[in-house]
Amino acid sequence: MPPPPSAMSPLAMYRNLVRAARSFQDYNVREYALRRVRSGFKENASTDAVQAELLMHKATKELRTMQRQATVYNLYAGGMKSILETKGVA
């Protein structure tokens, strides 16, 4: 479990979000989650302290959602890879 948001630095939050995003087995979901995490942080790179705190709370919620959904999604993952994941197999 990640530490509470007050204890987590934005970079640690980023790390945890990326880690959670990566845990999706499904290619499409995983790549979307990674893109979304990255763009969200880039978008709000320069924001004031108050807004940053609100965003950290939002990120905490999203992190929990992502961890929960990764567990559920992976229960139903077929183990089939997307063609985009297979390198060099024509």
Considering only 8, 20, 33, 55, the residue that binds another protein (CB under 8 A) is: 8
Does 73 participate in binding another protein (rule CB under 8 A)? no
In the complex with another protein, the residue whose CB is nearer, 12 or 54, is 12
Cα dihedral sign, 71-29-15-37: negative
Coil vs helix vs strand at 20: helix
Closest CA to 59 of 23, 22, 1, 8: 8
Residue numbers 10-49 binding another protein by CB under 8 A = 11-12, 14-16, 18-19, 38, 41-42
Residues within the interface to another protein (CB under 8 A): 3, 8-9, 11-12, 14-16, 18-19, 38, 41-42
